[in-house]
Amino acid sequence: MKRRDFLRAAAMTAVGAVAASCAQPTPIVLEKEVPVEKVVKETVVVEKEVAVEKVVKETVVVQKEVAVEKVVTATPVPEKFHEAPELAELVKAGKLPPVEDRVPVEPLVLEPPIEVGKYGGFWRQLHLGTTDAMQNYYKVDEFVGKFLPDGSIVPNVVKAWEFNSDVTQMTIYLRKGMKWSDGMPFTAADVMFWWNDVVMNDELTPSKPSWLRVAGELANVTKVDDYAFSITFPSPYGSVVEQMPIQAPWVPAHYMKQFHATYAVKADLDAKVTAAGFQDWKQLWGAKTARANHVGLPTVFGWNPTNTLDQQIQVWERNPYFWKVDTEGNQLPYMNEIRRFLLPDMEALLLKCIAGDADFESRRVEGVKNYPTAMANREKGNYRVVMEDNAGSNIGTMFFNFAHKDPVLKELFMNKDFRHAISLGIDRAEVNDIVQKGVCPISAATCAIGAAWYDPKNGTENPWIKYDVDAANKLLDGIGLDKKDGEGYRLRSDGKRLSLVNTVWSTDAALFPNVAFWEIVKPQLAKIGVEMVLDPTERELWVQRIHALDFDVAVYIMAMGHATQTPLQQKQFAPVSEAGQHWGPQWGLWYETAGKQGEEPPAEVKKMLEIYDEAVAEPDTAKRNALIKQAMDIHGEETYMVGLLNESPQARWMIVHNCIGNVGDRIYGSNSLAMHSCLMFKKC
């Protein structure tokens, strides 16, 4: 029998085990919890030639464990595969293997959101150049796992995963027969190359990935066989599954070894470095792994670039070895190409969208400010405005430089009364009305409203977001800032004016109008005697300055957990690394180096770090959420960050051209569902 005649089933058991098959948007992983009377260590899938409706499963009894078996129903692989006409012609000409040999033994079967699509057409995208890195993340990238609309996380690129009994080891199973976009096998060798030669190479990765650290210690990755690898953690890591929708632990070893000092002939590598205009092989490596800008880099994406991002039109062609099919066996994607148009600025991007020159666009155009314009031009531009159920960032959030070199400012920033006074001195309603048309919830810095970790006392009902000038003045007087200069500004303990330079993130102004927010806050703070000088700064320089500690206070978009990114994914609620968050980089450095570097944090921040460690280890979702709530409580009281507003539902939306099919009336976390390969061109 041929492989397509069999039902592929997955059934994996362990404490906190996760196993999945894969169709969407309705979850096809049907789970029910069954108490296990006899005690098992694991359930082993025995693949045999059986009728499609039958699943053969063998249970191995090895030792007593308290466990709950999860019964998982798998989606059958279609009996026959189909391909785009252009690919069929290449097969006919002998330039490409048959589609049956290009898709994996167990491809990911997607149920299209609305209908089985037709091949053809191209997807028009808009971008702002090489700095627009997130465009790839939102529209092309594929990761280990993905979110389903119910918030659960299931395998995506990989076939399945499972944990051992104490949640210290995760075994990940790859798809047999899966290939890179150049037709070479995608196996555990590519994972081990990533681990041994990229992650563990201190020249390429001086700071190890935070998602592979537990309580400050690094995990270890080992090969099980050609299609499986294990990650062993130094202590229980039940929450690692939350990292899967944003991780890609593999590198095409067969291709990238030519750019790696361990494998390449030195003279050849030196010549490549010189020819590319770089100083060393590490810079060359960085350029060659830039997946959106390196023509020829094998990927697992639905499309691959044929030219570079600096071209007026960057063309991405279909990956003939893509590992997803629809329920009728059509190899995805439906669209032949992506055509990415380079534009000078966000205003030009919006104008192209409302003129009907974009197909599926949210990046750089969404936001409350642009929402009325987008709605008003729907008929003219022949598009729909589709809402995203993914709002949740705190916009306009300000934080302090807790490692400031100025001892006077550092002492003030570490004083909770000072932070509370700043927060009480802000009239958020005025900011909301003027800039956001009054549609945003006024909130302290916390997770998304309504999320599993949300408590109103930390958000919309936080006592420190009430506008109260008298209370703010009283707090400032009480900490010794009771003297003022001739212009009414308070004097520091050294006699200097209390003046704060605010380094404001100015990128993505349509979605995050931070500068506009703080232009309004500036005179409000003057009323309580605090001078603020705004310093609008673009993304790259902003990040450099924050981590060089070259700022007083700074404004950013603070996301501590929302629809498709959990708090443990985002790692913003606790400073667990220097680079991974911005509000406490030196505390993060202290944590990740076990106190050898950085600055020791105060007791309440240490408590958050302890909570983080507990939550990371906890396999039970409800218990994990309860722990994170405790950290949110600390933020609610301590005000380490001064929140302004939570995103309005009107902030997150997409322009969808009427000629684009398989897009519903609402979109849930479009980037994380990885459904872009189901987009199709239709008559309109």
> Cβ atoms within 10 A of the Cβ of 52, count?
11
- Write down the pLDDT at residue 674: 55
Q: Are 575 and 601 in contact (CB under 8 A)?
A: yes
The answer to which of 62-76, 591-605, 639-653 has the lowest mean pLDDT is 62-76
- Which residue type is seen at 364? R
Cα–Cα distance, 145 to 157 (Å, whole number):
7
| pLDDT (mean) for 628-641 | 97
> What's the mean pLDDT when you consider all of the chain?
87
Q: Look up residue 659 and give its two tokens.
A: 């000629």
pLDDT greater than 60 at residue 522 = yes
> Cβ atoms within 10 A of the Cβ of 403, count?
15
pLDDT digits (tens, 9 = 90+) for 294-351: 899 999 999 999 999 999 999 999 999 999 999 999 999 999 999 999 999 889 999 9
The tokens 């990650």 sit on which residue?
231
Q: Map residue 353 onto helix, strand or coil.
A: helix
DSSP string of 568-607, one letter each residue: HHHT-SS---SSS-SS-HHHHHHHHTTTSSS-PPPHHHHH
The tokens 């990292």 sit on which residue?
243
pLDDT digits (tens, 9 = 90+) for 442-501: 999 999 888 889 999 999 999 999 999 999 999 999 999 999 999 999 999 999 999 999
pTM, whole model, 2 decimals? 0.77
Q: Look up residue 352 and give its two tokens.
A: 């192209």
The tokens 């095409």 sit on which residue?
252
Q: Are 230 and 169 in contact (CB under 8 A)?
A: yes
Q: Are 235 and 217 in contact (CB under 8 A)?
A: yes
Q: What are phi and psi of 247, to 5 degrees?
A: -120, 145
Listed by start position, the domains of the chain span 394-565+640-646
Cα–Cα distance, 628 to 646 (Å, whole number):
19
* Secondary structure element (H or E) that encloses residue 317, with its range: strand 313-318
Q: Are 585 and 599 in contact (CB under 8 A)?
A: no
- Write down the pLDDT at residue 322: 99
Q: Map residue 128 onto helix, strand or coil.
A: coil
Cα–Cα distance, 417 to 131 (Å, whole number):
39
- Write down the pLDDT at residue 504: 98
Q: 667 versus 491: which is more confidently predicted?
A: 491
- Write down the pLDDT at residue 667: 79
Residues whose CB falls within 8 Å of the CB of residue 622, separated by 6 or more in sequence, listed in order: none
The answer to which of 149-158, 332-341, 579-588 has the lowest mean pLDDT is 149-158
Q: Which CATH architecture has domain 394-565+640-646?
A: Roll (3.10)
| pLDDT (mean) for 622-640 | 96
- Write down the pLDDT at residue 25: 32
Nearest to 443 by CA among 452, 454, 434, 580: 454
Cα–Cα distance, 56 to 62 (Å, whole number):
20
